[in-house]
Structure 1
């Protein structure tokens, strides 16, 4: 388990970065994402990220003073790529027109869950980040949650706002719990997916 980093120095703001600095920051995130495809979060070392990204270790620490912050930034980038991919797939002709809200939300979360199935280390990192007290990590979690809610609300067009809000809370909480139980070996992936699907059908009955 990664240590919490409460009180740690904050990462360099992207708003103050030059184009070259933003490029190096992207290489760091790319390196972590590539490593997470094969390696558990706890086994990722800052020096290995530096070598893989070809960004000097001292520069890495200027951008991200704590490892947990680097992993959170990489997870945010991974989430953004996943949302973009899911949005593209949803817009593709193969997505049936006239699907109900429940069917659209089910399709979205099935694809999200299968992305975690293909990359279980991302799921483990997701759970670990939620135990952090680091200000920057919490900020990235909030930003990701907002982006994910926006994607979900887009699928729930026409649903009363209060129902959409409650549905978002219920689905998000169930998904996080399902990932935690699956990554700890307490339930199978099939059970984790079924838990999420059951809650979606409960809060968004098919018409």
Structure 2
């Protein structure tokens, strides 16, 4: 095996390791983001978890193909990397980068607020987790002639104004809090997605070069 072939072989090993680590990173970050994102985007985050899992698993083909210098395994790995690269690019360009955090957050809270006005405490899940009150603030309740719920109060939802000291109402509205939380969660998912695209592209390139090299060496050995 020539020096160039050995170098490419080790590069395939390196990018396999990076792909495996990034695959695990995407799984962890996307799993953590699931608790903050809303129902409309959960399928997208789950799909990234699936892609991360697949990237981690198919790195096995790259390792085996490089170790055994097997043309079939190496081409299988390169093909799978190409498919994953296309899927990751489609998700990042067509879906992930086009998500409007403000519009999605507003739509979610508008639905919750409509239920709240109809007697269902739909805002409590957001108010308790984000430490906020109402869509734009506690004045939303007074304007709608509604009692401020316990989830708007600091201190584990203790809505007792006569307590010593009195319970404090969250001053920030849930819309801005949800937008910030949603943007923060997606930021890390986007970061790992773009890094994954770069590593997948490099892994596909080097695996293709290595497969062609193995194929040429097998062809020369027959003569």
| TM-score, scaled relative to structure 1 | 0.31
Larger-Rg structure: 2
Higher helix share: 2
| TM-score, scaled relative to structure 2 | 0.29
